[in-house]
Chains A and B, each alone.
Chain A
Amino acid sequence: MTLAPALVAELDELVTHYPEKRAALIPALHRIQEENAGWISPELMEACAGYFGLEPVEVWGVVSFYPMFRTTPPGKHLVNVCHNISCELRGARDVIDQVCRVTGASVHGTSADGRFTVETVECQGACANAPMMEIAGEYHEDLDAAKVERILGDLA
Chain B
Amino acid sequence: MSAHPTYMLDRCEVADSHTLKVYRENGGYEALEKVLKTPLSPEDVIAVLKDSGLRGRGGAGFPTGLKWSFMPDVAKDDRPRYLAVNADESEPGTCKDRVLLREDPHGLIEGILIACYAMRAEAAYVYVRGEYRLPYERVAAAIDEARAAGLVGENVMGTDFSCQIWMHKGAGAYICGEETGLMESLEGKRGHPRPKPPFPAGYGLWGNPTTVNNVETIQNVPFIVSRGAEWFRSMGTEKSTGNFLCGISGHVERPGVYELPFGLSARSILEEVAGGVWKGRELKAFFPGGSSTGVLPAGSIDVAMDHDSVKGAGSMFGTGAMIFMDETTCVTRIAEVTLRFYEHESCGQCSQCREGTQWLHQIFRRIERGQGTMDDVDMLSTLASGMAPGKTICALSDAAAIPTHSVVKHFRDELEEHVRLGRCPLAGTSQPVGAGA
Contact = CB atoms under 8 A, between A and B. Distances in A.
Interface of A: 17-20, 22-27, 29-30, 52, 61-62, 65-69, 83-86, 88-90, 93, 96-97, 100, 106-108, 120-130, 134, 137-139
A68 B130 contact: yes
B80 A122 contact: no
Interface string B253-293: 00111000000000000000000000000000001000100
Interface stretch (B183-191, B363-371, B412-420): B183-191
A107 B436 contact: yes
Interface of B: 80, 89-95, 97-98, 129-134, 164, 166, 168-174, 185-191, 206, 247-251, 255-257, 287, 291, 321, 323, 325, 329, 333-334, 337-338, 341, 344-345, 431, 433-436
A67 B337 CA distance: 18
B188 A62 contact: yes
Given A20-B187, A22-B187, A100-B434, A127 B94 contact: yes
Nearest to A59: B188
A4 to B, nearest CB: 20
B434 A123 contact: no
Contact of B173 (A65, A93, A123): A65
A113 to B, nearest CB: 19
A90 B429 CA distance: 11
A86 B249 contact: yes
Given A65-B191, A127-B93, A89 B171 contact: no
Contacts of A108: 435
Contacts of B334: 85, 88-89
23 contacts: A19-B206, A23-B168, A24-B188, A26-B170, A27-B168, A27-B169, A52-B188, A65-B190, A66-B171, A67-B171, A67-B172, A85-B250, A85-B291, A86-B249, A88-B337, A89-B251, A121-B172, A127-B93, A127-B255, A127-B323, A128-B249, A128-B257, A129-B95
A155 B23 CA distance: 36
B188 A122 contact: no
B174 A96 contact: no
A96 B323 contact: no
Contacts, number: 155
A86 B337 CA distance: 10
A25 to B, nearest CB: 4
B140 to A, nearest CB: 11
3 tightest A-B contacts by CB? A66-B171, A25-B188, A137-B133
Contact of A89 (B90, B133, B325): B325
A27 B134 CA distance: 16
Highest count of chain A CB atoms <10 Å: which of B129, B189, B338 = B189
A124 B134 CA distance: 13
A37 B202 CA distance: 42
Contact of B344 (A20, A88, A122): A122
A92 B338 CA distance: 14
Contacts of B80: 19
Contacts of B93: 85-86, 123, 127
A69 B132 CA distance: 15
A90 B434 CA distance: 18
A105 B234 CA distance: 55
Contacts of B134: 137, 139
